[in-house]
Amino acid sequence: MPIGMLGIADFLYRNHINTEIIHEKLEKILNKNFSLEKYVKEQNVNICCFDLNWHQQSKNVIDTVKRLKKSSSNIKIIIGGFTASRFAKEIVKKFKDIDYVIKGDAELPLLMLCKSMLGMKKINLNKIPNLVYRNDNHVIENKIRHQAGTNILGKISYANFGLIKNSDSYLRLRKDSEDLKKEKCIYFSAGRGCSETCLFCGGSRYGQQKYNNRPLVKFIPVNSTIKSLQKFSEQGIKIWNSCFDPNPNLNYYSHLFKKIREKNIKLTHYFDCFSLPSEKFIDDFKKTFTNDSCLNISPETGSESLRKHIRSFFYTNEELLLRLGHIAKLDIRTSVYFSTGLPFETKKDVKTTINLIKILRKRFPKIIIYVNPIDLEPGSIIFDHQNRFGIKSSLKSFEDIINAQKQPREINFSTKSFSGKTILKNAMDMRLTRD
């Protein structure tokens, strides 16, 4: 689930709203007869919130909400997250089982809405920021005035695992594994937003500004991040993943890493780099985290001109190789990520990517290389301006996404077992779906 859910739940809990997070799939792994409908009835739930963050969830969320409304017609349904924010108006208009959508940051608007619905405080719906709702048959879209500032970010806890049903198992669950004996791990980023705009990204500065009204990135104060990390460690979490690196020149991480060392917090850290990490960052990373830790770097393509065109935080192949050399000298685990089907990508670019991968394989045999298809992400510049980028897709609206998910198209991509032929074929496959 999006980590923001845990922050929101903690915020509600601190404000006296009885809250529980349920991961339906996990419940079904633990008990194949688990029924969300039954559970909600037994617990006398008044309000059910669903995250609709990743567009891949769309059909599943809509179907689950429908099931739930059928069995408990009085329950109120609220949804939020990236995809819900992007299509808020359409969702409220077309999907009558959904009562409310909250766009962008949800802490304060959700608290106000819950208080109003539970009769704890009289609040007019038109006074709740970020809220989209129906009034008779009209869709009302309130302004996105709420954005979590340092005061909220500094206070909410991402370690209040007691709020997650079967949290011990949840923390062992992985995106691609149901093995509940794995080491406990957490995704937690030290802030929100991005300072730059990659054409294909739904969470870029462009998308954040347009759909979440977030013109700037927000860091969680170092001391609050430290408190969360300490609590993770105390609760037996050994692996910390993060994906927030918007201003590589700021010394936030050098300050944070220093504090982690001072407090002697022992963690394995997987850090997703937005840019090419500096030598100082790499040295600090090595000193701070366990030897299993890993730096993930995403040049996306071997073609420098294409990289410059579509991706922010530009670096050359020469710079990439030099920095990987430094990382290899310190024996830090590294993954390098490429994508296929990038906007403007030509066969020549694909060949350049294959060449770069060959060089990487030869010089740095320990590096793990991934090649993934790029998706058309709602909220990205290329999604919103498909004509401008020569993209012909059937995905324009939320309904289109739901329909596409009714007949999923299987594309098998080879990642770890990379072969030149596979990448070429896959790149062409993606082009066929988009062009």
CB-CB contact of 272 with 285 (8 Å) = no
Q: Is 196 in the site for ligand SF4 (CB under 6 A)?
A: yes
Residue 83 as a binder of ligand B12 (CB under 6 A): the answer is yes
What is each CA distance from 372 to 187, 261, 314, in whole angstroms? Answer: 21, 35, 20
Number of other residues whose CB lies within 10 A of the CB of residue 376: 21
Site string for ligand B12, 8-27 (x = CB under 6 A): x-------------------
Residues binding ligand SF4: number (CB under 6 A) = 10
For position 300 contacting ligand B12 by CB under 6 A, the verdict is no
Binding-residue pattern over the window 124 to 163 for ligand B12, x denoting contact by CB under 6 A: ------------------------x---------------
Pairing of strands 294-300, 368-373: unpaired
The sheet carrying 239-242 orders its strands as: 185-187, 239-242, 268-273, 294-300, 333-340, 368-373
Report the nearest approach of ligand B12 to the CB of residue 238 (Å): 17
Q: Which of 88, 112, 132, 201 binds ligand B12 (CB under 6 A)?
A: 201
338 binds ligand SF4 (CB under 6 A): no
DSSP string, 268-315: EEEEEESSPPPHHHHHHHHHHS-TT-EEEEEEE-S-HHHHHHH-SS--
Instruction: State yes or no: residue 324 binds ligand SF4 (CB under 6 A).
Output: no
Shortest CA distance to 220 belongs to which of 158, 138, 127?
158
| Burial profile 64-100: b = 16 or more Cβ within 10 angstroms, e = fewer | bbeebbeebeebbbbbbbbbbbbbbeebbeebeebbb
- Pairwise CA distance, residues 78 & 97, whole Å: 10
Site pattern 254..293 for ligand SF4 (x: CB under 6 A): --------------------x-------------------
- Residue 82 touches which of ligand B12, ligand SF4, none (CB < 5 to 8 A by kind)? ligand B12
Which one of residues 80, 277, 299, 302 is an interface residue with ligand B12 (CB under 6 A)? 80
Residue 102: its H or E element: strand 100-102
User: Is residue 198 involved in binding ligand SF4 (CB under 6 A)?
Assistant: yes
DSSP label at residue 221: P
| Nearest alpha carbon to residue 99 among 139, 57, 44 | 139
Which residue, among 151, 171, 152, 153, has the nearest Cα to 161 in the 3D structure?
Answer: 171
Our finding on whether 78 is near ligand B12 (CB under 6 A) is yes
CB of 419 to ligand B12, least distance (A): 22
CB of 56 to ligand B12, least distance (A): 5
For the beta carbon of residue 36, count every other beta carbon within 10 angstroms. Answer: 17
Site for ligand B12 in 321-380 (CB under 6 A): 375, 377-380
Please list the residues that pair with 242 across neighbouring strands: 271
Q: Does 312 bind ligand SF4 (CB under 6 A)?
A: yes
Stretch that binds ligand B12, among 105-113, 248-256, 258-266, 328-336 (CB under 6 A): 105-113
Q: Least distance from C-beta 202 to ligand SF4, angstroms?
A: 8
Q: Does 397 bind ligand B12 (CB under 6 A)?
A: no
Q: Biggest alpha carbon distance in the chain?
A: 66
| Cα 420 to Cα 351: distance, rounded to the nearest angstrom | 8
According to the binding rule CB under 6 A, does residue 107 interact with ligand B12?
yes
The entry of ligand B12, ligand SF4, none near residue 102 (CB within 5 to 8 angstroms by kind) is ligand B12
For position 192 contacting ligand B12 by CB under 6 A, the verdict is yes
Transcribe 118-134 into DSSP letters: TTSS---GGGSTTEEEE
CA distance 110 to 126: 13
206 binds ligand B12 (CB under 6 A): no
Question: Among residues 69 and 205, whose Cβ is nearest to ligand SF4?
Answer: 205
Applying CB under 6 A, among 13, 54, 314, 344 the residue interacting with ligand B12 is 54
Q: Is 203 in the site for ligand SF4 (CB under 6 A)?
A: yes
Residues in the site for ligand B12, rule: CB under 6 A? 2-5, 7-8, 49-51, 53-56, 78-83, 86, 102, 105-107, 110, 148, 175, 187, 189, 192, 194, 201-203, 243, 375, 377-380
Residues in the site for ligand SF4, rule: CB under 6 A? 194, 196-198, 201, 203-204, 274, 312-313
